[in-house]
């Protein structure tokens, strides 16, 4: 909301874990090196549809990524606008400076809008996995639709967030219902 994004009603009463595990999280998280079918399988494994995947990726309308996560894309991929690649290469060299940051959405990095998709149709996706959503494959029509119709994106994003909040909750006496969602009671 603060950055202009959609709002949705968050269901209450989810049982969450009492501890966090980096290793366990990394088993399921998608990688920036993934291709379109890797991404689809990864989301599908969590009960999320192809459309959910395209819509939720629009979270990359805000935030930053480290050089190490997009280096291969800006040096080795061909589905990237050349002047965009060159501008990133200025501060993300072939080696070193791994932690230098670039905005995931170069147009409006601090606004939650549909610019992420406008970037993709112009081949200005920052991550390899971002541009996978628009490079002559089955996600292209959804990306074009979100680039043309911001309201459709915002609506689908909110629906996707609700579905994501319903992934594999703990049941019975496992875990706890948190008083504050970001920390254990
Ligand atoms: C489609 C598969 C996805 C991949 C491969 C992916 C990958 C990444 C990577 C590599 C970064 C940069 C992290 C870093 O440099 O340390 C990032 C940042 C981010 N991602 Fe994703 N992501 C995906 C989906 C999502 C989803 C579904 C959301 C939320 C709904 C999301 C929200 C974010 C946000 C907000 C940031 C910026 C974090 C910051 O600025 O601190 N991503 N993502």
| Minimum CA distance residue for ligand 1 atom 37 | 63
Name the percent of the chain lying above pLDDT 70. Answer: 99
Distance (angstroms) between ligand 1 centre and the Cα of 185 equals 27
**Alpha-carbon separation of residue 80 from 21, 87, 127 (angstroms):** 35, 12, 10
105 is an annotated ligand-binding site residue? yes
- SS3 of the chain: helix, strand, coil, percent, to 5: 45, 5, 50
- The answer to whether 104 and 130 are in contact (CB under 8 A) is yes
Q: Which pLDDT score is estimated for 116?
A: 98
Mean pLDDT over 129-155 rounds to: 97
Q: Which pLDDT score is estimated for 1?
A: 65
CATH topology for 32-168 is Peroxidase; domain 2 (1.10.420)
82 is an annotated ligand-binding site residue? no
Could you tell which of 104, 158, 162 is best to mutate to test the pocket of ligand 1, judged by most ligand atoms within 8 Å of the CB? Answer: 104
* Mean pLDDT over each residue of the chain, to the nearest integer: 96
**Ligand 1 atom showing the smallest separation from residue 68 Cα:** 15
């Amino acid at each position: 909301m603060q950055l202009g994004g959609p709002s949705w009603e968050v269901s209450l009463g989810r049982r969450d874990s009492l501890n966090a595990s980096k290793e366990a999280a990394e088993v399921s998280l998608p990688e920036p090196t993934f291709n379109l079918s890797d991404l689809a399988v990864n989301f599908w494994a969590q009960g999320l549809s192809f459309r959910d995947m395209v819509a939720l990726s629009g979270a990359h309308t805000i935030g930053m990524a480290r050089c190490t996560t997009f280096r291969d894309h800006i040096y080795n991929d061909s589905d990237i606008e050349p002047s965009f690649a060159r501008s990133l290469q200025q501060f993300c060299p072939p080696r070193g400076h791994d932690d230098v940051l670039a905005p995931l959405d170069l147009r409006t990095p601090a606004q939650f809008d549909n610019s992420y998709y406008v970037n993709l149709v112009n081949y200005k996706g920052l991550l390899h996995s971002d541009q996978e959503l628009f490079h002559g494959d089955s996600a292209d029509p959804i990306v074009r639709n979100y680039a043309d119709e911001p309201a459709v994106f915002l609506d689908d994003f909110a629906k996707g967030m609700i579905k994501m909040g319903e992934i594999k909750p703990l049941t019975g006496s496992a875990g706890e219902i948190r008083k504050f969602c970001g920390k254990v009671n």
